[in-house]
Amino acid sequence: MGWDVQKIISERLTLRIWMVAVIGTLLGGGVLFLTAHENLWINHKAWQVLLEQVGSLTFITAAITLVWDLFAKRAFLEEILAKTRLSRDIETSGIIQVSDSFHDTVRWDEYIRNSDKIDTFFAYGNTWREAHRDALKAAARKKIVRIRAILPDFEHEETIANLATRFGYTNERLIEYIKDAEKYFRDLPPTNGTGAQVDIWFYQGTPVFTFYRFDKIVVLALYMHRRERAGVPTFVCRQGGTLCDYIHKELDAMLDLNNGLTRKA
Amino acid 55: pLDDT: 61
pLDDT tops 80 at residue 197:
yes
Q: Which of 66-75, 153-162, 178-187 has the lowest mean pLDDT?
A: 66-75
pLDDT band at residue 181 using 50, 70 and 90 as cut-offs: very high
Q: Which of 10-14, 60-64, 148-152 has the lowest mean pLDDT?
A: 10-14
pLDDT tops 60 at residue 8:
no
Amino acid 133: pLDDT: 96
Distance of CA 143 to the CA centre of its chain: 34
Amino acid 1: pLDDT: 41
Q: Which of 5-9, 12-16, 52-56, 189-193 has the lowest mean pLDDT?
A: 5-9
Contact assessment for residue 220 and residue 121, using Cβ atoms and an 8 Å cutoff: no
Torsion of CA 256, 190, 175, 153, to 10 degrees: -10
The span from the CA of 98 to the CA of 236, in Å, is 6
Burial (Cβ within 10 Å: 0-12, 13-18, ≥19) of residue 4: exposed
Contact assessment for residue 200 and residue 151, using Cβ atoms and an 8 Å cutoff: yes
Distance of CA 147 to the CA centre of its chain: 27
pLDDT digits over 119-149, tens only?
999 999 999 999 999 999 999 999 999 999 9
What value, to the nearest 5°, has the Cα angle with vertex 100 and ends 106 and 145?
25
Report the chain's mean pLDDT, rounded to a whole number: 81
Q: Model's pTM, two decimal places?
A: 0.68
Q: Which residue has the higher pLDDT, 185 or 102?
A: 185
